[in-house]
Each structure stands twice: as C-alpha cells, then as structure tokens.
Amino acid sequence: MSEANVLEAEARDRVGKGAARATRRAGRVPCVIYGAKKDPTSISIDPLSLRKSLEAGTFFSTVYEVKINGGGATERVLARDVQLHPVTDVPQHVDFLRVTAATKVTVEVPCRFLNEEESEGLKRGGVLNVVRYAIEVLCSVDNIPHEVDVDLAGTDIGDSVHFSHVSLPEGVEPTISDRDFTIATIAAPTVVEEETEGEEGEEGMELGEGEGEAAAEAEGEEEGSAEE
C-alpha cells in the first residue's frame, strides 16, 4: 500500500508565467497544490529531489507529505501532472492534488513480472512480450498498491497472461472492467536469417566452363588482329 514520502518545499508569493520563469531561473521547480475545495497553493521544490522521485517509477502512485517552509504547513498530495522541457526533459512544472483518506483516485500502477526462471517458455528461448507495463486502477489513496505482481511460473510459448491471473488488494479495482485484458504473452523465439550477400556476389562473378573458354578465345583473336 502507499506510504507517505516527504517533499520539502518553499512557498511562492507570486504566480503566473513570469513568476514561474523566475523560479526556474533561481534553480527550483514551480508547483501548485489544488483540490479539496481549497484555494491553490503555489510552491517550489528542489529539482534534484523531484528527479529522484520521478526516476523511482512510482511518482504518480505515491502519496507525498509536502512540508512547506520547513514544516510550517503540510499538505498531503498525489502528483497528477508533470510538464517537461521539450528538449532536455528537465521538469518545468508539477501539479499536485490534495488528498485525504476518503479521496478516490485513478492511478497507473506498474507491473512487476515474477518467476521468469520458472517459465518453461522463456527457458526454451521464448520472449516475454509485455503488452501492459502498468495497470490503471481506481482506489482510495491509502490503498494504492506500489506494484501489481504478475507471476510467469508455468507459462509456455504461446501462452498469454490476462488480468484474471493477477490479484489486487481489496478495494482496488481496474478501470477496464468489460474484458479480461492481456498483460503479457510468451512469444516464440525469432531467428533472423542473415543474407549471404558475399556468397551470392561470388556466384554472380563465376563463369561457366564454356563461357570461360569462349572469353579466352575471343581475347586471343583480338591479340592476333592487333599483331597483323
């Protein structure tokens, strides 16, 4: 289940594009906290701590305790959107949603594939073809799972792993409920046939026995004509 992580933040007095640019020039990432029928709160956070959270792979499914100005105020939030620079991918802005224990949200939870060594298909050279790296679920913020475990034990080449093969914690439901969707398949190994261009080229350059003799005779006749 989700556990609150701490993000240190500083309050921002000004808002707007100009203020956001000034915050970025100062080496921080502008953010806003909204929701819970309260006025938005503008903050900024350290880009290194933000990047670390993003690289963890569970940024959007983790509940954070945002401590503003050293803990003068605390907001419990869930990240909903991150704007990245189109060239450098550096975070430019983050939107956070205020949450409580009663808040229900839709989040994507990453899949974790287990027991690959116990898959007969993979041991025989098959390839794990991942159809869904994450599953979108609806649940309360206190019930957000960190990962969805997908067990590959006993799977063989040609098998598919569907949603019905995994278990979710109580109170967690998939947003796709009208079909038993595929999470992954075990595909047959693919063999790439290398073209023997060199051999084909050599064959194209070879002359038949009769063709070689005719060429030699023609060359001799040309030399004889030159001597005359």
Given the candidates 3.30.1370.160, 2.40.240.10, 3.30.70.20, 3.40.50.460, the CATH classification of the domain at 5-99 is 2.40.240.10
HSE-CB of 86 using CA atoms within 13 angstroms: 0
Tell the CATH superfamily of the 105-187 domain: Ribosomal protein L25, C-terminal domain (2.170.120.20)
CB contact set of 189 (below 8 Å; sequence gap of 6+):
124, 125, 126, 127
DSSP annotation of 195: P
pLDDT tens track, the chain, 228 positions: 455 689 999 999 888 889 999 999 999 999 999 998 899 999 999 999 899 889 888 899 899 999 999 877 899 999 999 999 999 989 999 999 999 888 999 999 999 999 999 999 999 999 999 999 999 999 999 899 989 999 999 999 999 999 999 999 999 999 999 999 999 999 998 754 444 455 555 544 444 444 444 444 445 544 444 444
Residue span(s) of the chain under CATH 2.40.240.10 come to 5-99
At residue 199, the 3 state secondary structure works out as helix
Q: Which amino acid is at 114?
A: L
Location of each CATH 2.170.120.20 domain in the chain: 105-187
What value, to the nearest 5°, has the Cα angle with vertex 47 and ends 46 and 52? 105
Decide: 107 and 99 in contact? Cβ < 8 Å: no
Which two structure tokens, joined as six digits, stand for 186?
């075990």
Run of H or E residues at 6: strand 5-11
